[in-house]
Structure 1
């Protein structure tokens, strides 16, 4: 099969023929139809993901496709099934999984980081009965490509961890793929969304997917403007980028007893160690909430919203590329260039 292979951090991926994946009794092999290029892939490429311990590695963790082979122990899937692949895989038996929190499994395994991912024409998914999601027939593969990571990450962060309510004000810092997803989801939930970024073209696109107001934080003090627009501060604020400025400004944008949800992974050394305004947090009783991935029980509700048209992840896709163009796309991400979501649909 063809794949884009990482042979060293910060090096161009090598697109070449590699061995086909080997089927295991509890696994399936999927012919991929669409794979998103996510900022987490960039983090992996740049060496920020401790899960990558050896080379070569095939990155890619946002994918959808068609089941081509099934292992002898598989019960929930058959050849020809349309599926999407959650990026966080669980063991199904740890206390967190039993409680329904598969996204923080004690033995969590990440597609494309712990094992080979979706920058390839085919992928093998181990323990597939509990780590695959059937894709409804009326949801396009392009729509599905982002739902294995960015879109589902935003959904869990906004709906579950953020506990958004209709009429609330939501500030979203960063309008990359996960930030745009958060904007669309919060707007669909009936919230009023303010998008914050430093690029006017990205902010214009944010308005197209649901933002009622935008702030260019390169030109204005974002927390101050958020407070003015909302008449006191946001109920919920999202850091979708993970850098010092966006995390701090997100917290400072909140009204009393507001909620900050950290969705963006930090590339800061020492485990993403950032500074926070502790006295402000104490005096206003704001909450600091972490959010990672999404547990399997939340997928049906998200997919139902996509089926009935309330959510349209495909609207975030602005560029479709071939596998051979992947290094150009990575370089764009390295420079924070481009608007919306890039998807590989030619392998």
Structure 2
């Protein structure tokens, strides 16, 4: 339905709660898998446990250099360095289409990017920006491309401020700050904070986010809006896949994945707020603050007083792209989405 970068393909078995949970929070196929000649091999292979460790999903000590807020002025240079480091890792260790088919020291492209970033969130943004440029340059137009051609493209890729604005919108620095905040906490710790947090989300957060998206579309920023939201989706997809590989067999999948969808929704809310912060009139400022507040409460719950109007509600399908929700509704008219 969509290209390798653009959106996760969700295969939902309607009526089966656990399948819905897995599809909503994890996705069945990867951004790249949809366009990879080894997609079937990667998704069905049962050999190896390469997906258990993803450095991009781990927490960063609060007193470390990487945890400090990096200067926006060097963000593009920093991301270019991530791309070049990923290329070097692929050349030194060898490249594989996916972690499940890697032999010996070989790395998949995702693994190389995950290992290349030192500042939280950089690996995910750099990976997605390279993939955007690769598609722009036609590398995903045919089925006969070689893995070496992808590695060569990574080696030649640079990332500029203009690239980031084209990808994440005019407020790309603020968007990256939110992604970095979540990534610095680490996936497991972030989900744990969401689970133990008091009610933090406005009941109409999804409606507000939809309105903010409509405003972005009206300003000609639909592609950039989708790009920012897709970085969030990619982070949660990669980290969810890694986390699922660590589940103990005596823990049900449903319990293990509890609040994963809420955790992603809060990150999407915060990214939406960052995206639109400088594009909103004074009348809409309160809505932006409402979207940003959920993640703020998760980070520092003691700094906010109780609010009976806040909830822990999340639509099971709200982390899907609207086009995917529409497709699911056509396939199953009983599905309700945004």
Q: Is TM more than 0.5 here?
A: no
Q: Which has the higher strand share?
A: 1
Q: Which has the higher helix share?
A: 2
TM-score class normalised by the smaller sequence:
under 0.3
Q: TM-score, normalised by structure 2?
A: 0.26
Higher relative contact order (CA 8 A, sep 6+): 2
